[in-house]
């Protein structure tokens, strides 16, 4: 499946938001909510990794470089 760079950025944003939720729930004392949030984050992060790998292969680019570009775009978006 072809992924645009913009799709990769959106997937990474979703994974980052899910990770923030996990961190917020870590000390809340609700193991069930934490587990659900953790699984959601894990699944989203896996989808990002798969999409980045596919995109890099399609573009003939180094995977690590694509991942770095995506993370930069997410973290330094104006």
pLDDT score for 1: 67
pLDDT score for 27: 87
pLDDT over 60 (residue 78)? no
Three-class SS state of 30 = coil
pLDDT over 60 (residue 16)? yes
CA atoms within 13 A on the CB side of 38: 8
pTM over 0.85: yes
Each residue's pLDDT tens digit, 44-63: 999 999 999 999 999 999 99
- Report how far residue 17's alpha carbon sits from residue 24's, in angstroms, rounded to the nearest whole number: 11
Q: What is the mean pLDDT of the chain?
A: 94
Say which residues have a Cβ less than 8 Å from residue 47's Cβ, sequence separation at least 6: 11, 15
């Amino acid at each position: 499946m072809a992924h645009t760079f913009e799709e990769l950025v959106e997937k990474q944003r979703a994974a980052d938001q899910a990770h923030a939720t996990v961190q917020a729930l870590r000390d809340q004392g609700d193991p069930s909510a934490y587990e659900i949030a953790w699984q959601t984050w894990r699944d989203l992060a896996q989808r990002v990794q798969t999409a980045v790998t596919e995109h890099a292969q399609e573009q003939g680019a180094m995977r690590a470089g694509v991942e770095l570009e995506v993370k930069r775009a997410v973290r330094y978006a104006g």
